[in-house]
């Protein structure tokens, strides 16, 4: 990989341009890293009357159950009133991937995948958690894992 810096006195915001023959896995990984540059490692979640700070690395999965958002870290489980898409915006893009309409997982806690019914996969996660990967999201997961 090569890089160069160009000073532009008219450019106030940092502008990064990537050049390569094709948009491949290496470019995608670099873009994911750049998108998370400067993000906090901590995630603030509001549970009832408290605000709890969680290390993003400790979050195993986030899923919608009924009308609640369930955050499953390595410690205790939290239920909150939030929307999945809003919560996803606060997560480190490089470590989290959406695997169904209602579930996001931390790929660092993914232990294995196995075939399930109808083209879906079953994801085995830390703490013995299991969740279904919708066939519509399998390609996205494979791309994130570099498969």
In this structure, is residue 26 part of a structural domain? Answer: no
In this structure, is residue 32 part of a structural domain? Answer: no
In this structure, is residue 24 part of a structural domain? Answer: no
What's the pLDDT at 11? 87
What's the pLDDT at 14? 85
CA distances from 72 to 19, 51, 96, 122 (A): 39, 16, 13, 17
What's the pLDDT at 131? 95
User: How many domains does the chain fold into?
Assistant: 1
In this structure, is residue 126 part of a structural domain? Answer: yes
62: CATH: 2.40.50.1020
In this structure, is residue 17 part of a structural domain? Answer: no
In this structure, is residue 1 part of a structural domain? Answer: no
Decide which of 34 and 107 is more confident. Answer: 107
Provide the residue range defining the domain that includes 51. 41-145
Residue 12: is its pLDDT beyond 90? no
Q: How confident is the model at residue 33 (pLDDT cuts 50, 70, 90)?
A: confident
In this structure, is residue 9 part of a structural domain? Answer: no
In this structure, is residue 87 part of a structural domain? Answer: yes
What's the pLDDT at 118? 84
Q: pLDDT tens digits for 34-75?
A: 877 766 688 889 888 899 999 999 999 999 999 899 999 998
């Amino acid at each position: 990989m090569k890089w160069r810096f160009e000073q532009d006195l008219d450019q106030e915001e940092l502008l990064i341009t990537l050049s390569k023959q094709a948009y491949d896995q290496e470019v995608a990984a670099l873009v994911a890293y750049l998108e998370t540059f400067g993000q906090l490692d901590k995630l603030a979640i509001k549970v009832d009357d408290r605000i709890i700070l969680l290390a993003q690395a400790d979050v195993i999965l986030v899923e919608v159950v009924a009308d609640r958002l369930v955050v499953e870290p390595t410690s205790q489980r939290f239920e909150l009133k939030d929307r999945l898409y809003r919560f996803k915006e606060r997560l480190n893009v490089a470590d989290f991937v959406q695997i169904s309409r209602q579930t996001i997982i931390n790929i660092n806690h993914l232990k294995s995948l196995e075939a399930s019914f109808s083209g879906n996969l079953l994801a085995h996660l830390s703490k013995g958690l299991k969740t279904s990967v919708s066939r519509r999201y399998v390609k996205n997961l494979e791309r994130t894992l570099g498969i």
